[in-house]
Chain A
Amino acid sequence: MKRLLIIFAFGTIAALAAGLWITRPLSVDVAQVASLSGSAEDGEWVFHLGACASCHATPGGDKTVLAGGREFTTGFGTFVAPNISSSRDHGIGTWSQADFFNALRQGTSLNGTHYFPAFPYASYARMSDTDIANLWAYMATLPASDRPSEPHRLTFPFNLRATVGVWKALYLRTAFVGPGGDTERGRYLVEAIGHCGECHTPRTVLGGLQNNRWMAGAPDPSGKGKVPGITPAQLDWSEADIAYYLETGFTPDFDSAGGGMVAVIEGTSLLAPEDRAAIAAYVKALPPAQ
């Protein structure tokens, strides 16, 4: 009996260790990304479409100072956006380009731990090498802030970063979800940089996106109101209507955008018109979902 218990205990430990190993934080191939040389100029639109400032700029502060501090209250606890300015002490000023790739593609931090997926790396993982390198170059030109990052306030067991390894095994997929072909450019802008699915797609109880209900709408992350579905089952706007909304914030009947969508439109209003048109074409091509 005692022997059985010992075997059981060792078995449990071994299974746990194997589980932790399988779900360990992964890193990108440094050799593959180290030689990339991004263009800050070409990274600016990526920064705007990615709406980095909407989470990482201090509320009420300058949009180019990514000092952090905005709080996000969720069912898992409160996340506090960290300082990702170019500060060497409090931001990401000491990072290498490979570290930045690890964050966006693998959700892995500088010290090799998992990031919580409140940071939408599951979308950014689809970004091209070029766009990540350009964004990295652009962000290096932004001002430093010495505002210290604050810890998240999460409930057990979600405060254990190791649990994110399981989440990643379940939900971190780089395959695109929506239609490609003629709408490939729009799909890339929406599903990778724009990370639109993070709010417009409902989630499972474990916080993963329900890809079979892609863009079908979800409760607003703020807890008040909702994020509407944007598939043809919910939205009957024309392509021109969608592009105009992303440019001006006006709906076809001249109501205005509100809530979290305002920050999105601050970014999309700065895109090239053909990119707004590409997003609109993709949205119209989405399969209806409920």
Chain B
Amino acid sequence: MKLFLVLTLSAIVATATSVVAGGHEGNPAVKARQAHMNLYQHNLNILGNMARGNVDYDAAAAQAAADNLVALTTLSQAGYWVPGTTNAELGDETRLLPAVFEADSKARQIGGELVEAVAALAAVAGTGSEAVGSALGPVGASCTACHRAYRVSNN
């Protein structure tokens, strides 16, 4: 009888816990960062596949994607790159490493390089797939510069 009670209570607790976990919304800063990155990736996909010849070059679509990237780099991101929301505090929820917020962090400088690289890409995006391919180089370099130092490695 006692065992039955314990088992029933355990089942109730387990169910309640999983309901709470299922409804867990995640850290808003992490979600915003990931959304921002997804938008970079979506637009890079359009340009990169044209550069690689996987899809036909379309000047208007290329220009639109490049303009989106420019717009993304002009958004204020101060609200979601905040200390206390890194892999050290939140574990697997985010791959952001705490080094990004340390005094010697190069993130701001790399962000500046990304702004320039994306502007250069937008300036030539409508002129052909080869120009897009070349201009993607410096964009990729700023992506990797940050991911090298401030993102938990998995690739």
Which residues of A are at the interface with B, using a C-beta cutoff of 8 A?
A: 220, 222, 224-228, 240, 244, 248-251, 253-263, 265
> Are B97 and A254 within 8 A (Cβ)?
no
> Are A220 and B45 within 8 A (Cβ)?
no
Which residues of B are at the interface with A, using a C-beta cutoff of 8 A?
A: 41, 44-45, 48, 52, 87, 95, 97, 136-137, 140-141, 143-145, 147-148, 151-155
With a CB–CB cut-off of 8 A, which chain A residues contact B154? 225-226, 228, 258-259
> Are B155 and A250 within 8 A (Cβ)?
no
The CA of A226 and the CA of B154, in the complex, are separated in Å by: 5
With a CB–CB cut-off of 8 A, which chain B residues contact A240? 52
With a CB–CB cut-off of 8 A, which chain B residues contact A265? 144
> Are B52 and A249 within 8 A (Cβ)?
no
B98: min CB distance to chain A, Å: 11
Among B48, B147, B153, contact of A226 (Cβ-Cβ < 8 Å): B153
> Are A224 and B140 within 8 A (Cβ)?
no
With a CB–CB cut-off of 8 A, which chain A residues contact B144? 249, 256-258, 262, 265
With a CB–CB cut-off of 8 A, which chain A residues contact B136? 248, 250
With a CB–CB cut-off of 8 A, which chain B residues contact A257? 144, 147-148, 155
With a CB–CB cut-off of 8 A, which chain B residues contact A250? 44, 48, 136, 140, 143
A248-B137, A248-B140 known; A258 vs B155 contact (CB < 8 Å): yes
Among B97, B152, B155, contact of A228 (Cβ-Cβ < 8 Å): B155
> Are A256 and B147 within 8 A (Cβ)?
yes
> Nearest B residue to A245 by beta-carbon distance?
B155
> Nearest B residue to A244 by beta-carbon distance?
B52
> Are B147 and A259 within 8 A (Cβ)?
yes
With a CB–CB cut-off of 8 A, which chain A residues contact B148? 257-259, 262-263
> Are B153 and A254 within 8 A (Cβ)?
no
The CA of A254 and the CA of B144, in the complex, are separated in Å by: 11
The CA of A220 and the CA of B97, in the complex, are separated in Å by: 14
